Amino acid sequence: MAATSDVLEFRDYRMGFRDDELVHDLIDGMSFGVPTGGVLGVVGESGCGKSMTALSVMRLLPSAAVVQGGEILFNGENLLARSEAQMGEIRGRDIAMVFQEPMTSLNPVHAVGRQIEEVLRIHRSGMSAEERRNATIELLRQVGIANPQNRYTQYPHQLSGGMRQRVMIAIAVACRPQLLLADEPTTALDGTIQAQVLALMQNLKEQTRGSIMLITHNLGIVVETCDQVVIMYAGRIVERGTVERIFDHAAHPYTRGLLASLPSLAGDTGELHSIPGSVPSVADFERGCRFAPRCELRREYCAREVPPMTALSPEHAVACWVTGGGRSE
Ligand SMILES: Nc1ncnc2c1ncn2[C@@H]1O[C@H](COP(=O)(O)OP(=O)(O)O)[C@@H](O)[C@H]1O
Ligand SMILES: [Mg+2]
């Protein structure tokens, strides 16, 4: 059970996709919390269900998706039980999301200033047009955009990728949300800009005393940015812990594989490892441990039986029959 200080808490959450009469489970009994005022990293390869996790919080899942059970608590209240109208108030005001691809999320036919103002128009109806304009220019300045008065009237195509992502962040933090969901916010950006955008989010979090769920496929980003990490494989949490524990004592073969594929940790040989194979599609998941087909340590029962989450220390848990124990034979 997560601490009461978690701003967001998944409890045994399950969702899947409709396929004719069947529903294939993607997220299968997921439980974890985002600590209030902290940054939680959610890490996994492409196809693991990270975006569906974030979209579940926003209640913006694609139409083929089916929520099958569990709860997603925001300040102790189940978002899954909220009406569409209530969600409309929460989205953008209390919980905001930054997407991977800023170009597809910004509207190409409106100036960026207007797109930031739109959030204020919806959620801060008491503001005058002039107050909104001033607040927007201040937001552009806060996200590190020079000449905000000029940028205000520009269109997305007139900005660089890094600048567009800053505008997306300005939109997301316009109402000082308690929780920011950042879905691969820097994946489309190159190295130095990546670091700047991450530092910016960190900085804004401290100013607004908010919390962040940072989704990434890159464990390297997590070291710099996060307090705690959950490692996700094919819709399940396979390991969770503090950043220190995960980096120094990774227990799950999947986590170890992700670490071995980090350039900076490849060691003197400079040899990069990658985990053989790829994440299967939902219809092909194993009944037991979903990582079993790619796992070097697998035993014959692994693919049949789901390994329980086992605590290795107060701040570290793993779901693996081999490295987590829990099977007596
Ligand atoms: N419309 C859909 N129908 C069936 N399965 C889907 C659909 N959309 C996504 N999926 C499943 O969800 C998985 C991707 O989840 P996603 O949250 O986008 O992963 P990630 O963000 O970690 O890359 C896909 O691998 C696929 O199995
Ligand atoms: Mg994704």
Compute the average pLDDT of residues 247-263.
94
pLDDT at position 18 over 90? yes
Q: Which of 18, 23, 25, 26 to mutate to test the pocket of ligand 1 (most atoms within 8 A of CB)?
A: 26
Tokens linked to 304:
């049949």
Lowest mean pLDDT among 82-96, 183-197, 279-293, 303-317: 183-197
- What is the per-residue pLDDT for 177? 94
CA distances from 276 to 114, 283, 291 (A): 47, 20, 11
pTM (2 d.p.): 0.93
Q: Is the CB of 50 under 6 A from ligand 1?
A: yes
For 50-103, how does the pLDDT look when each residue is reduced to its tens digit (9 = 90+)?
999 999 999 999 999 999 999 999 999 999 999 999 999 999 999 999 988 766
CATH code of the region 6-94+175-318: 3.40.50.300
For the chain, the domains span 6-94+175-318, 95-174
**Per-residue pLDDT at 1 exceeds 60:** no
Q: Which two tokens stand for residue 240?
A: 């969770």
Place of tokens 């691809």: 101
23 lines ligand 1 (CB under 6 A): no
Average pLDDT of span 171-179: 93
**Ligand 1: does its nearest atom lie under 6 Å from the Cβ of 26?**
yes
In 119-219, beta strands by DSSP E: 179-183, 211-216
Beta strand 211-216 with 39-43 is parallel
- Going from the Cα of 49 to the center of ligand 2, the distance in angstroms, rounded, reads 7
Residue 325 has pLDDT above 90, yes or no: no
Percentage of the chain exceeding pLDDT 70: 94
Instruction: Supply the pLDDT for residue 256.
Output: 96
